[in-house]
Amino acid sequence: MSYRPQYAMPPTPPGFQDEEFEYYFDSTNTPGLQPLVSGQQLNKVTLQLQQDAEFIWRAIEISGNTGPLQIRFYDPFDNELSAVTIECDRAYGATLNAAEPVGRLPVVFEPPITCPAGGFLQVDILVL
């Protein structure tokens, strides 16, 4: 996914190089993301980042029909990114119609969140 910041960003420091990179998390690569039933809640499911370089978290995109799912993300320093869980289809989708989840756009974080190499993100998941 290409990224264009809304505001001017400082240039990449000398000796470093920016490279586009995407993480994909689902039940096949993250055991904590197994299918849930109505009323079930999981707290602080770990989303492990790679060890080789820091990651600049600039946007998120949630694909597929999430149904009545609410989430809350935490940054690598255990800071909540929202005070409560938020409905996926309203917060992270390009449309507000849950019946048409295809064609979603990434939701950009301003400012981006710098994640250390080998760090991790966390997510709370609630199925209504």
Return the pLDDT at 1: 52
Given a cut of 70, the residues of the chain with pLDDT beneath it are 1-5, 64-67, 89-105
Q: E strands of 9-102, at which residues?
A: 41-48, 55-60, 69-74, 86-87
At 109 the pLDDT is 80
Q: Which amino acid is at 72?
A: R
Q: What is the pTM of this model?
A: 0.79
**Residue 35: beta bridge partners?**
none
- pLDDT for 108 equals 80
Q: What's the confidence (pLDDT) of residue 102?
A: 47
SS3 content of the chain, % helix, strand, coil (to 5): 5, 30, 65
If you search the block for the tokens 């055991």, which residue do you land on?
A: 31
